[in-house]
Structure 1
Amino acid sequence: MSCQGYDLIGDIHGCALSLRMLLARMGYRQVNGVYRHPQRKVIFIGDVIDRGPHIREALQLVREMVEAGQAHIVMGNHEYNYLCYMTPHPDKPGEYLRAHTARHQRILQQTLEQLSPYEGEQQDYLDWFQQLPLFLEFERFRVVHACWHQELIDRFRKEYGGNCIDKAFLYRSAVEGSFEWEVMDRLLRGTHLRLPNNEVMVSKDGFRRHFFRTKFWMPDPQYLVDVVFQPDPLPAHLARLPITDDQRQDLLCYGAEEKPLFIGHYWRQGTPQPVTSNIACLDYSAVKFGKLVAYRLDDESRILPEKFVWVDVAREVHLANAEVGAS
């Protein structure tokens, strides 16, 4: 197959029906059980698992496309979290790389319930997750789940010889403050700042948060409101606080002259559109009845609003389910 373009797809989170609808909308058809397009390939941005109703089906569809050469994929923070949650700690008998707390259990609950009856299959997916690249760089564009951090990526390439982790890296990534921990935190979760004065935000999904996610492309932000990048706004009394010198050290700037970058992770809302002229976020909260979004990349050097395509989950999947129920 001669690939003439790429279709980049955002966070799926177990929304397999929406994924099938989106692939069909873009001209992909199942051939010998695998979705294919005569001229194009898919790139999945990560977070195939957790929260949604059809995680196992989504995993099977995605993995079959990747292994048949019809798609690429990068690791999402949810694949990484699940991998750590299921990996015994090498130095602490009875413990795991990701602690089995109530909060972590809640996030992973749907994946655990849907995969645990298939023990061999579950282990096979865990092995596959560890092999997923953290980032992809092509001649004209880049892909990472949450944030492109050039300094960390350069060091990772030098020390690990590519874009994939090994078991030793996985173990070290559980040590907070280590280089390996920082790689996973920045590339898969993005940049963030601690809320001033030890304040706590309660997000719309009920989690108490001491940090907020930040933009990594602002050249000269002045106030906290200038860098917040998440669905939940900062409290008004914090939003207008000036950015301190210490906070500025934790911010990045992906320059406007850099290659187009495709990310997921950030639970955007509304009509899909470019974040900047060279950054597209493709996570539009599909599992929360938002949109499952793709960007149809050809040879353009800037992100174009008209190249986004999506499935409106609340409307279209509801209609599809209603038609099935009426038949």
Structure 2
Amino acid sequence: MIIDIIGDIHGYADKLAGLLTQLGYEHNGQCYEPPANHRALFIGDLIDRGSQQLRTLEIVFAMVDAGVADAVMGNHEYNALAFATLDPYKEGQYLRTHTELHFHQHEAFLKEAPFDSDSHRYWLERLYEIPLWLETDYACFVHACWDVDSMAILKPLLTPNNCLTPQALIETSQEPSVLFDALERVLKGVETPLPDGLVMVDKEGTARSRVRVRWWLDELNQKTIHEIARAPNSGLAQIPVDALAENIDFALKTNKPVFVGHYWLTGEPQLLSPQVVCIDYSAAVDSGYLTCYQLDTEKPLPLDKANFVQYHHDYS
């Protein structure tokens, strides 16, 4: 079987429909039906940013409900649940605070599903159905990082299918905590502290004292921050070139191929490593393309960049 692994959609339903059609999927009146011997898998971040939030969810969940697709949760789905859930430990506050920044990040979704409306409540219930990760005999699928140690910490809180429960959402939202850190690893990736006194400003203007690292590289603790950081050059310019990464407690503990989204890559799709593939090529901006990796379950390895398919919406 061929698994069509599709990257972060972020509410761009037209791009999703275009990619599915390009891959040979046909709408049967209920959902996009795959060609023979194909199945779709969505790698998370279905929502936020784009102007077709509910149509995106309708396409994805119609396929999931028809048994022709799977999905894993992205940090934006998690954030949507936390944004709408009161924190029982902090009276009157939500698990994800309603700051101007957080509202702006979630504005596109709330515009189509107003807060606490019937539509909003319905789609939040559907988001609970998406597992945090999937593992099969042939591959591993997670939004940001395949960290089995963090997964082991989370597992007792989750359903048998690795889905959040309302209580799991509450407990993993409490910062600082071991559960919070484990959830952050799985849905947002591995980070390392910057040298004392240094901060980086991210694409949304937030100053950060930690930097995301390319966890798929070997010997992380023996490299400089410049060598392993997943950050723009403008941010790295503030960091001494000889500053070493320290105390990164991570190792990739699987021999299977690992598929992720999340990382806002650009350009021609490439393998991150002989074992790791990112399928997020910034579809949420005009210059980015919704991307798919076609995995043959009979021969998952070696990975091959020829298996990438991109929908070039600006050529259609």
Query: Which letter maps to 1:107?
Result: Q
How far does residue 159 in structure 1 lie from its aligned partner after superposition?
Answer: 5.7
Match of 2:78 in 1: 80
How far does residue 239 in structure 1 lie from its aligned partner after superposition?
Answer: 5.1
Match of 2:60 in 1: 62
8 Å contact from structure 2 (residues 143, 261) kept in 1: yes
Task: Mark the CA change 1:31 to 1:232 in structure 2 (over 3 Å): closer, same or farther.
Answer: farther
Match of 1:138 in 2: 136
- Partners of 1:145 and 1:239 lie apart in 2 by 30
Structure 2 stretches of 5 or more lacking a match? none
How far does residue 233 in structure 1 lie from its aligned partner after superposition?
Answer: 5.1
Where 1:148 maps in the other structure, the secondary structure is coil
Task: Mark the CA change 1:159 to 1:105 in structure 2 (over 3 Å): closer, same or farther.
Answer: closer
Match of 2:23 in 1: 26
- Partners of 2:19 and 2:240 lie apart in 1 by 37
Match of 1:105 in 2: 103
Match of 1:241 in 2: 242
8 Å contact from structure 1 (residues 147, 190) kept in 2: yes
Match of 2:198 in 1: 199
Deviates more, 1:262-271 or 1:165-174: 165-174
Query: Which letter maps to 1:134?
Result: L
Where 1:143 maps in the other structure, the secondary structure is strand
Match of 1:183 in 2: 182
Q: 1:119 and 2:117 equivalent?
A: yes
Where 2:102 maps in the other structure, the secondary structure is helix
| 1:53-100 deviations in Å (ceiling 9; x for gaps) | 111110110111111111100000000011100111123332101111
Task: Mark the CA change 1:30 to 1:253 in structure 2 (over 3 Å): closer, same or farther.
Answer: same
What is the count of residue pairs matched by the alignment?
Answer: 309
Alignment of 1:243-282 (within 5 A): 243=244, 247=246, 249-254=247-252, 258-282=255-279
Where 2:15 maps in the other structure, the secondary structure is helix
How far does residue 243 in structure 1 lie from its aligned partner after superposition?
Answer: 1.9
Match of 2:308 in 1: 308
Where 2:223 maps in the other structure, the secondary structure is coil
Q: 1:8 and 2:5 equivalent?
A: yes
| 1:293-319 deviations in Å (ceiling 9; x for gaps) | 000111231220100001134x23xxx
8 Å contact from structure 1 (residues 216, 251) kept in 2: no
| 1:15-62 deviations in Å (ceiling 9; x for gaps) | 100000000010000013200113211110000000111111101101
8 Å contact from structure 2 (residues 157, 168) kept in 1: no
- Partners of 1:60 and 1:239 lie apart in 2 by 47
Structure with the higher fraction of residues in helix conformation: 1
Task: Mark the CA change 1:60 to 1:118 in structure 2 (over 3 Å): closer, same or farther.
Answer: farther
